[in-house]
Structure formats: structure tokens, C-alpha cells
Amino acid sequence: MKSNVILGSSQFQVDFSKPLDISMPLHVGKDNPSAWYVAPPTIEPVRTEQFTGAVAEGGSVNFRNISFNPHGHGTHTECVGHISKEVYSINKVLTQFFFSAELITIVPEKKENGDEIITWQQIKSALQNKNVQAIVIRTLPNLSDKLSKQYSDTNPAFVEANAMTALIALGIDHFLIDLPSVDKEMDGGVLAAHHAFWEHPEKTNLNRTITELIYVPEEITDGHYLLNLQIAPFENDASPSKPILYSVS
């Protein structure tokens, strides 16, 4: 059943029975996607002298500890607290969860120094609907190995800073991409694209979010969508997240 949705001055129909999940699941083991040199996540039963948190080992319930890094272990959404001295929590910054969004697909440009960069010209050429609140970027090649890729020390593609500046001029407040960072892996701590998007520290914007390490399957076509940006309620600069797209008409 389709429902009428109004976002700002736009109205469209959405079929909420057909969600398109663009997050990556987090699981134990070395084939979990990873970046920034973190060890694999762990999910382990609590074990004490009086209690075992595993039914398979004789416990009454499964009761597990989970250890992971939101930035390094999969799909996550972050706020300006990621780069600021001030403490900002994504759980307090992100207070609305539905946004009009445009999905585009880009092949990063290869430079002579080996870098691969997503440029403003590429984004501008691919973006058909500029009256949206969020942009979702799928990079090519889009192989399923993104679901288990080990990104550390591979110099992944990144976004040029002036592209972020141009996007906020269009009114984009939420940026989603299938890379571990919008910035170059080793840039001496400059983080130019992060700073540009949040206009930090000159005119720091607390409302914008960046979501990294998404995965957009091939069968999801480029175009206009309704985005539901779901996060876990961590009081931290970043949280694991579950962005969902819905087709609109």
C-alpha cells in the first residue's frame, strides 16, 4: 500500500512495504568489512563462575558482549563531533529521520599519483534532482566484495572538498557514500572534505551528517528516493546506522 508523504514543499507516494536496505551487516570474523587498522569485531557470551550467556553451552539465555568500532567496522553515521574539540553526539544532533534523497553512481577519477577522487563535476553531471536533502553515492566498480573489504592501507577513493562546499550550497544536509571516508586515508589529519561539509570551525553546522561504508546493490537504480536514516542511540560522535531507501512516485 502506498502512502502520501510530504517533505518540505514536495509531496509524493511511498510504498513502505518495499524497503531497500543500503547498510552492511556487522558480524564476527576477519571477513567483516574493516578500515582504519582496527581488529575484527567480536561478539562473545558473558562468562562468570555463576553464569554462562550461551544456550548452546548450557546457559538459560544468550547474553553476549559486542566489541566494535563504529567508524571502522561498517555502515555508520557521524556528526561534526567527529572532528571538533567540542563534544557533539549524533544521537542529539540527528533528530529527524526521513529525507528526500538522490542516488547517483560514479566512477572515481584516477590521478597520476595513484589517488582516485570523486569531483564536483562528476557529481554535478550525475545529479538529476538537485532539490533534495540527501545525496547517496555508489562508486564503481560495485562488487560484492565491498561487504568484506579490508580498506586499511589501500588508499581508497575520496571526495574533493569543493564538491562538499557545492553540495551544501544546494541544500544537501546528509551525505552517504560506500567508501570508508569522504577524505583521503592518509592526508596528515587535514580532513578537508569533512571540514568543508560541516563548515568547521568557521561556521560549524551541527545538523549535517555524513554516512560512510554503505552498500548499494546493483538492482537499486539511480534516481529519487525517500531516505530513512536509522541510527542506534549512542551518545557518541558516530553510531552504527541502517539507511533505508524507498522508491517514490
pLDDT at 79 over 80: yes
**Cα 93 to Cα 241: distance, rounded to the nearest angstrom:** 14
- For residue range 196-242, list pLDDT tens digits in order: 999 999 999 999 999 999 999 999 999 999 999 999 999 999 999 99
Sign, CA torsion 156/202/230/89 = positive
- For residue range 97-128, list pLDDT tens digits in order: 999 999 999 999 999 999 999 999 999 999 99
Q: Establish whether the linkage from the previous residue to 108 is cis, with ω within 30° of 0.
A: no
Of 21, 8, 73, the C-alpha closest to 242 is 21
CB 93 within 8 A of CB 59: no
3-state secondary structure of 228: strand
**Cα 70 to Cα 34: distance, rounded to the nearest angstrom:** 10
In this structure, the chain runs to a length of 249
pLDDT at 6 over 90: no
Q: What element of type H or E holds 2?
A: strand 2-7
**Cα 185 to Cα 35: distance, rounded to the nearest angstrom:** 9
- For residue range 7-63, list pLDDT tens digits in order: 877 788 999 999 999 999 999 999 999 999 999 999 999 999 999 999 999 999 999
pTM: 0.96
Of 45, 42, 93, the C-alpha closest to 68 is 42
Q: Binning pLDDT at 50, 70 and 90, where does residue 5 land?
A: confident
Residue 107, C-alpha cell as written in the block: 566512477
The CA radius of gyration of the chain, in Å to the nearest whole number, is: 19
Of 67, 130, 121, 143, the C-alpha closest to 102 is 130
Residue 132, C-alpha cell as written in the block: 533534495
Residue 236, C-alpha cell as written in the block: 557518541
